[in-house]
Structure 1
Amino acid sequence: MSTDYSSTTQGGWSQTLKRVVVTIFSGLGWLDYFFACVLLGAAIFAEIKFSAYMDGYEQAILFAAVPVLSVLAWGWSPIRNLMIGAAGLALLAIYFYQTPDGGSLARAEQAFFLKYMLSSQSAILWMSVLFCLSTLFYTLAFALRAQALGPTASKLSWAAVLIGVTGMLVRWYESYLLGADIGHIPISNLYEVFILFSLITALFHLYYEARYQSLVLGAFVLWIIVAAVGFILWYSIARGAHQIQPLVPALQSWWMKIHVPANFIGYGTFALAAMVAIAYLLKQKNILADRLPSLELLDDVMYKAIAVGFAFFTIATILGALWAADAWGGYWSWDPKETWALIVWLNYAAWLHMRLMKGLRGVVAAWWALVGLLVTTFAFLGVNMFLSGLHSYGTL
């Protein structure tokens, strides 16, 4: 009996795994496989050329990115186009940075395309302009019922993401032009992570826009990105935050490469859910209701955004604890940033629990998601402004 049960269980797992594999690989064309091979080739090239600058963990992250990015590209082809476009523009920028003696950061003020388009600072400025234009077109399309403006708004948002990702890649390269000991992935301070937040939020919005075939959501979601863009511009002008600085010792770790992106997938999707909640509340109050999608659609987007964000925020919190143990000798120290991260986690854990166990929906769920944005904003920014602790390197 035991043997039969074991073999049956093994057969069940085998069939389940087979179905998962078939689901992933069914419908893939030669371009999908070719793209995966290109990613693998790029990883091998990076390993050969830059292995001296990477430890074993960073090399593992490099090669783990290949299947992750491949599956993302297979599941949503616009991501593949984005990766190809951003990589092409970044390589063009690197080409313009070259001199007979090697790369020079001074070329950013000498080469026309770098100065006005492809240097990291120029690219981020273009990203900011395009996001603002996209928001304007989304809002006009919603306010004036001008459906023809919607596709233009979406294209502008995609263009902003493309040039923004390019700017981040070029900034990464520029940090190494300052010195091999200075070079680092550009997610180390508030300026850089606000850019990351804008890009992640926009990408999730564009995904849900395509999935639900609704151009209305942009009239709400893009405003939180405009707020982030406003902070980026202010932080650049008032504090010179666009200048690349060496990493503080606590951030000189491979943990940063996985903890921070996971964290900001959470922040971005929580923000998106809150902006969708505003649309839900307007619809429920019968304000502009004829211009908004159905309550069921808005509720579904809100739920899925929070579910995805919670999953990644949970991963980020675990990674943060492991990083803290590595850097400071303890998994948890009740540092203000850690405490507020826990508050954010508990807030959305309770939201999902009430949704799944008690069927929470409607106005209460929407208001809760909106209040969650305030909690998340304080954890993201308020702690840096008003509190101090082990994470003081992120202060304003």
Structure 2
Amino acid sequence: MSTQQILGEHTYDDRGFLARLSLFDWVWAVALLLGSVYASYHFAPWMDRYEHGILYLTWASTVAIGWMWKPARLFTIIVAVVTLFAVMRYPDLAAAESDFFLNYLLSSQAAIMWMCALFLAAPVVYFAGLLGRAAFLERLGTAMMWLASGAGLVGLLVRWWESYLIAPEVGRIPVTNLYEVFVLFAFTTGLIYLYYEYRYQTRALGGFVGLIIAASIGFLLWYHFVQGAHEIDPLIPALQSWWMKIHVPTNFVAYGAFAIAAMIGVAYLIQARMPDAWQRRGLPSPEVMDDLMYKNIALGFAFFTIATILGALWAAEAWGGYWSWDPKETWSLITWLNYAAWLHLRFTKGWRGTPMAWWAVVGLFVVTFTFLGVNIFLSGLHSYGEL
């Protein structure tokens, strides 16, 4: 029997984690497992044992996230159904121009353009809701963030299928160039934000986080239309490794979390100058924003550490050494040390508030140079990512 303790406004369920899972939780997890098993057998000719391991690790991670964050279950179902519908409408690549649904909604380029439009509109709606104290507009901003994140994920999944339609030897996971990873950054950051929005029950920070996503969308659109980077090209030999499938996504969870922390830092600093005006509009208290900055930086630091280790292992396999002081590696170390120092001073010295908010904002510039600036201004073993 369930025992609940009511303390203040919060309800706590003292049952074990597994006991709190519903029938739908288990059915959803089993359905994902069956889909993973089917993919494992159906695509076996194109997968090695490491890629099978990555597939089942992805299943386990997705199930864990869905059990802890209930809205993620419906999100994964909708993305899977929409992606399968799109893939089934592809007799060949030319269908993207002749099929109504593919041409206007579900081809990789159509879905990514919808993602861009929604991510550009979301912060406008969020800020309108915040400044006008309009709950409907804030809920609309949340809906736009969900739709944009789903469109981005569908776009990359369909792009993966399209790469194989070009030719089997061209087929690869779409996280191999700046264009694709900017899409990855946008929807990953959106999903991480939505998780914290759900956990903290506040939409007031959506506009601030939406600004950094909109900035990445601006670059993505320039890269698409000016540089023609949306074309699917064969994968260069340096990236033909299963390591890429775990190293790159892990990195971008970290980048997204660091970006969210920076934008919460911006909101913190703005509220610090006019506390009464902004709290009346619904911004969280300084203590809540400080806690959110910490949790995002801690999340980003954990994933960045894992990504750096994975990158070192990949480098050892590809180049014969774990570390070569390549510019990307050097700036990754600088980024790691920056956030390690932030966390260290918080734990050991109890630093809070304005100094840490400024540090989080400055940290975003360090991350941006590591992510993009190195590719533009420096050359090295990672020079395949230049503009």
TM-score if structure 1 supplies the norm length?
0.92
**Does 2:374 correspond to 1:383?**
yes
Gaps of 5+ in 1: 1-21, 99-103
Does 1:194 pair with 2:182? Answer: yes
- What are the superposed Cα offsets for residues 206-254 of structure 1, whole Å, 9 maximum, x if unpaired? 1111111111101100000000111111100011111111111111000
- Runs of 4+ in structure 1 off by over 6 angstroms are none
Structure 1 residue 126: Cα displacement: 0.4
- CA deviations 1:60-90 (Å, max 9, x no partner) are 1112222211111111111111111111011
Counterpart secondary structure, 2:129? helix
Q: Residue 392 in 1 paired to residue 383 in 2?
A: yes
CA distance in 2, matches of 1:133, 1:374: 24
- The answer to whether structure 1 residue 266 and structure 2 residue 259 are counterparts is no
Q: Using the alignment, how far apart are the partners of 2:201 and 2:53 within structure 1?
A: 38
Letter in 2 for 1:289: W
Q: TM-score, normalised by structure 2?
A: 0.94
Shift of residue 49 of structure 1?
1.1
**Per-residue Cα deviation, 1:157-180 (whole angstroms, up to 9, x for no partner):** 111111111111101110111111
Render the CA deviation track for 1:285-344: whole Å, top value 9, x for unaligned.
226433321000100100000000000000000000000001000000000000000000
Partner residue, 1:90: 83
Q: What percent of counterpart residues are identical? A: 55
- Of residues 333-342 and 36-45 in structure 1, the stretch that sits farther from structure 2 once superposed is 36-45
Q: CA deviation at 1:145?
A: 2.5
Give the whole-Å Cα distance in 2 for the aligned partners of 1:173 and 1:27.
Answer: 37
1:301 is matched by which residue type in structure 2?
L
Letter in 2 for 1:63: Y
Q: Is the 8 A contact 2:122 2:207 kept in 1?
A: no
Q: Determine helix, strand or coil for the equivalent of 1:26.
A: helix
Secondary structure in structure 2 of the residue aligned to 1:361: coil
Give, as a single letter, the amino acid of the residue that structure 2 aligns with 1:358. Answer: K
Q: Which residue identity is paired with 1:350?
A: A
Q: Which residue of 1 aligns with 2:301?
A: 310
Post-superposition offset of 1:147 = 2.7
Tell me what 1:48 maps to.
41
Shift in Å, 1:386: 0.2
Alignment-derived partner of residue 169 in structure 1: 157
Structure 2 spans left out of the alignment, 5+ residues? 1-14
Q: CA deviation at 1:143?
A: 2.4
Query: Which residue identity is paired with 1:50?
Result: F
Q: Distance in 2 between matches of 1:207 and 1:64?
A: 21
Q: What SS is found at the alignment partner of 1:97?
A: coil
Structure 2 counterpart of 1:7: none
Kindly report which structure 2 residues correspond to 1:134-173, keeping only aligned pairs within 5 A, or say none. Answer: 134-173=122-161
C-alpha distance in structure 2 between counterparts of 1:154 and 1:202, whole Å? 10
Structure 1 vs Structure 2 CA RMSD: 1.1
1:340 — aligned with what? 331
Mean alpha-carbon deviation: is it higher for 79-88 or for 145-154? Answer: 145-154
C-alpha offsets along residues 23-46 of structure 1, whole Å, 9 cap, x if unaligned?
Answer: 441211221111111111111111
Residue pairs, 1:220-231, within 5 angstroms: 220-231=208-219
Distance 2:43 2:192 in 1: 32
